[in-house]
Structure formats: structure tokens, C-alpha cells
Amino acid sequence: MGFTVAIDGPAAAGKGTISRAVAQTFGFAHLDTGLLYRATGRKLLETGFSPEESAKAVVPEDLERDGLRTQAVAELASRVATIPEVRAALVAFQRDFARREGGAVLDGRDIGTVICPDAEVKLFVTASAECRAERRFRELKEAGQAARLEDVLDEVRKRDARDMGRSDAPLRPAEDAVTIDTTDMSIEEAVAVAEAAVRAKLEEAI
Ligand code: DC
């Protein structure tokens, strides 16, 4: 049986943590779709292909490579993600993943709105820009990377504006999404809300 959980939201809101926890708890496969755009950006730099050719050339092994999670690659990903041909080239892979046997969690920006509008569960995970910047800043510090909080906040705001302002598949909650604002929540609380939404739908499906 296919069962899809679509988790969308802005950068550093907690989507990744929630998605991994939900996948683990329910035994679903997980796809971080941001990695597809990150790998596309990197392919473009490495090959000199056009953005569309770069997206078409991405293979699953590219998602496992080191170095995809840097700020520089995130910025590049956000830029290539505004190009409709790039988005179109990545649709089939995501939809195939979503309908695999045993259930799937996909997290990104347009999963509930464009990629999987019929997903059984749609969550929109968000938090204030200040809170997200602070979390990202702490992660960078823990990873030993030099950063200034003002710069990280500026980066978060720019990426939000680009992801929400693009004409093709802008970041926004699906009409039937459950919104989880994690600004004042612990990770455990946010995961519990997400898991309760999934459990309720699973029970309905039986
Ligand atoms: O989730 P992330 O930070 O790894 O995503 C990197 C960029 O990729 C993000 O700024 C916008 C783009 N993206 C997208 O447009 N659609 C998705 N489903 C996932 C990511």
C-alpha cells in the first residue's frame, strides 16, 4: 500500500528532524528533496551543463555525496530551484519515490502542493526567521564553522524570499496541510504533533 507524508516548510524550521523521526517510527522511506536541488546546483558547477541538463543528470548516488549541506550549495540550490525546467526534470523521481510500497516521507517546499497533492498526510513546518537563524547559527558553531548571527539571519530571509516569491511552485502551505509552528516547541513536542497526525490518518486508512 502507498502512504505518503508530505512535509513542507522554510529552511531550518525542523522539517528534516521531523521527517527522519516520522520515517523511523512508522518504517517509511524518507527523501529529503532539497538534496535533489543541491545536487543539481553542484552538477552545474562541476560539469558546465545547463541547469536543465544538470537536473536530468542527477542520479541517486549524487544525493549521498559529502559537501551538499554547505551554505554555498544551499544558495545555489535555491537559485536553480526557480527554473521551471529544473523543477520539471525532478518531478518523476519524487513521485516514484512517494508511491513506493510501505510508505514514504518526502520533505521540501512543494511536496503537498505540486509533487504529491494527494498525499495522505500534509504537514507545513515553520518557525520565525529569527528562531531558524539562531538554530542554524548554533549548528554551524557546533560544526566548527565561523559565522555571524546577522549574516545567517540575512541568508535565511533571502532564501525565504526566493523560495516564496518564485512563480513556479512557490513555498506555501497546501490548503489541507496541518501547520506546525516550532518556534516555541521542543523537538520532542514537534515530533509528537507530526506523529499524531500520521497516526490518525493511518487509523482511518485501515
Ligand atoms: O531544504 P533545503 O534547504 O535543502 O533546500 C535547498 C533549496 O532547494 C531551497 O532553498 C529551495 C529548493 N527546494 C525546492 O525548491 N523545492 C523542494 N521541494 C526542496 C528544495
Cα distances from 70 to residues 45, 57, 136, 166, in angstroms, run 14, 21, 11, 22
Question: Is there an atom of ligand 1 within 6 Å of 110 CB?
Answer: yes
Q: Which residue's CA is the nearest one to ligand 1's atom 20?
A: 34
State the pLDDT at residue 71: 82
Question: Is there an atom of ligand 1 within 6 Å of 33 CB?
Answer: yes
State the pLDDT at residue 193: 98
When the pLDDT of each residue in the chain is averaged and rounded to a whole number, the result is 95
| pLDDT more than 90, % of the chain | 91
> What residue type is assigned to position 81 of the chain?
A
Other Cβ atoms within 10 Å of 152 Cβ, number: 21
- In the chain the domains, ranked by start, together with CATH numbers, are 4-205 (3.40.50.300)
Q: Under a CB-based contact definition with an 8 Å cutoff, are residues 38 and 142 in contact?
A: no
pLDDT-based confidence at 162, cuts 50/70/90? very high
pLDDT-based confidence at 70, cuts 50/70/90? confident
Q: Is the pLDDT of residue 1 over 90?
A: no
pLDDT-based confidence at 146, cuts 50/70/90? confident
Q: Say how many Å lie between the CA of residue 107 and the centre of ligand 1.
A: 9
User: Per residue in 87-123, pLDDT tens?
Assistant: 999 999 999 999 999 999 999 999 999 999 999 999 9
State the pLDDT at residue 72: 87
Q: Say how many Å lie between the CA of residue 204 and the centre of ligand 1.
A: 31
Q: Is the pLDDT of residue 75 over 80?
A: yes
For the chain, what is the radius of gyration of the CA atoms?
A: 16
- What is the distance between the alpha carbons of residues 135 and 204, in angstroms, rounded to a whole number? 36
Q: Which residue's CA is the nearest one to ligand 1's atom 11?
A: 78
Q: Under a CB-based contact definition with an 8 Å cutoff, are residues 121 and 5 in contact?
A: yes
Determine whether 104 is exposed, middle or buried from the number of CB atoms within 10 Å of its CB (0-12, 13-18, 19+).
buried
